[in-house]
Amino acid sequence: MATGFITPFDVHRANLEFALRMLSFGHEARQQACEFELQRIKRDLAAMHAAREAAGARDWTEFGASCQAMLRDYLDATTNLWQQGWVSAMRQQSACCDGMREALASWQSTWTEQWQKSTGMNPAAIPMQEWTKNFEQALRGVLEGRAPVAAPPFATLNGSAQGDRHAG
């Protein structure tokens, strides 16, 4: 009698945790983008106020000095925003990669643990257990940043290599 696979709540929890992590990474990136946009608006507003004050100059020398100071402040603020943006982007990318690696490792371990429980009860799945063990080791190596360990090419279930010539 074959038993059906019943999905436990752990698998649903792992799926939900993975989806929530993805959403939180997106939310953090949008929040950071909004903060930079607010800083750009403040920079532009300060430049507009400085230009308006420069318009009240008494002569061209004073007007030129005011405009030069406004442009210098504007370019300094722009350079600072670009530097902050690049640093933030690198930090977000690193944090996102680390978080995704952890989330995928957690998700993969939950799924393989549940799959192993269901295949352990099913006698038809016994030949697949060694293959799944090798697959899990390869996937774990990829998630940890190592190259996967390759299985012998053309390995079959009975241990002989495909294409072997038999005398007969």
Tell me what pLDDT residue 94 has: 85
Average pLDDT over all residues of the chain: 76
**Which among 41-55, 115-129, 137-151 has the top mean pLDDT?**
41-55
- Two structure tokens written together for 150: 């390759």
Lowest-confidence segment of 47-51, 132-136, 152-156 by average pLDDT: 152-156
Q: What is d(CA 111, CA 117) in angstroms, rounded to the nearest whole number?
A: 10
DSSP track, 53-101: HHTT-SSHHHHHHHHHHHHHHHHHHHHHHHHHHHHHHHHHHHHHHHHHH
Q: What is d(CA 29, CA 85) in angstroms, rounded to the nearest whole number?
A: 11
